Structure 1
């Protein structure tokens, strides 16, 4: 089994999880070694004497679930899909391709901003591309 399949299995199953993250009512069962090694934000949250460290839980009440999910995907897969279109305003597009590009642009912008907040440089580069 490849390392990518192992990481995907860990993400999907939450097996051996030692960190939970919640956002907008959804809880993710994650792994400190994977998450904290890629983000100084999460590393500091669970390393220093904050409640997150004692609970092994990080709550992101002010973040958008549509941008947190790709961040989590990137931690494990070094990739993410252009997701949630519900936060995008309706517009009249001249072609389906214009609509697709518009949605991808806004999704990638949100992911870029989250990557900046969570200090994940490779994700910023990926979202920019």
Structure 2
């Protein structure tokens, strides 16, 4: 049986042909199609059923969204059966896409981003890129105080833990500072510290699936890094979690 031809709706997005709705993002306008939006986004499905603007074909304006991120998400909506065209190796763009997809309740797009990053971040070098403070702040600010545990918080929490254990003092300090302000990240670090202790007790060198690129660090050295942290009331929740990590390291 011959393969069925691919379906690609991008030309409709590019030309605006048959458009029945407009999304405005800063100075740019995107002539879009209600049927495609509703098929891919629960947010737009709700908006288009209830909005006065939608009923009278008035544009909806977003001033707090990056147009490039929106373009990539619309490409997902209009891709049909073809591959999604977006920068798969740009970790920050992936995170921003994931957050926008969550905002628009485009859950299949969120899963697609998560799957891509799980496959891409497969070694210590890429984990270090994922553990940069601006990336971690974005992921865990969106996650809140542990309220949104997902593949993303798990992946980036593990990347932060691995990087904090295997990098320079400056990098460790930067990661600790982010964990100090985000309890959800501190919780992930606590989880992997516990996992690592269990692995060490079983003489296993891998506390998780990390592409074979992670080894148990000098535990005493890492413990000293935690001891150097100073706690205050603004970071109390994270401080409690990291204090638990310190106590667990002492048991090794």
Question: Which structure has greater helix proportion?
Answer: 2
Q: Deviations over 1:62-109 (max 9, x none)?
A: 1111211111110001613229xxxxxxxxxxxxxxxxx5xx000000
1:59-74 map, 5 Å: 59-74=61-76
1:82 has 2:87 as partner: yes
Query: Does structure 2 retain, via aligned residues, the 8 Å contact 1:71–1:115?
Result: yes
1:126 to 83, 107, 112: 112
Asked if 2 retains the 8 angstrom alpha-carbon contact of 1:45 and 1:53, the reply is no
Q: State TM-score, norm by structure 1.
A: 0.75
For the 8 Å contact 1:18–1:56, the answer to whether it is kept is: no
Distance in 1 between residues matched to 2:32 and 2:6, nearest whole Å: 16
Q: Give the distance between the partners of 1:56 and 1:42, measured in 2 at CA.
A: 14
Alignment of 1:1-129 (within 5 A): 2=5, 4-5=7-8, 7-77=9-79, 79-82=84-87, 101=89, 104-128=90-114, 129=116
Secondary structure (helix, strand or coil) at the match of 2:30 reads strand
Aligned partner of residue 113 in structure 1, secondary structure: helix
Runs of 4+ in 1 over 6 A off after TM superposition: none
Which residue of 1 is the match for residue 211 of structure 2? none
Q: Contact 2:20–2:57 (CA<8 Å) still a contact in 1?
A: no
Moved more, 30-39 or 107-116: 30-39
Aligned-pair Cα RMSD in Å: 2.1
TM-score (norm 2): 0.40
**How many Å separate the matches in 2 of 1:43 and 1:121?**
13
Counterparts in 2 of 1:69 and 1:30: CA distance versus 1, 3 Å? same
> 1 or 2, which has the higher strand percentage?
1
Distance in 1 (alpha carbons) for counterparts of 2:56 and 2:16: 20
How many residues in Structure 1 have an aligned counterpart in Structure 2? 109
Higher RCO, Cα 8 Å, sep 6+: 1
Per the alignment, in what secondary structure is the counterpart of residue 29 of structure 2?
A: strand
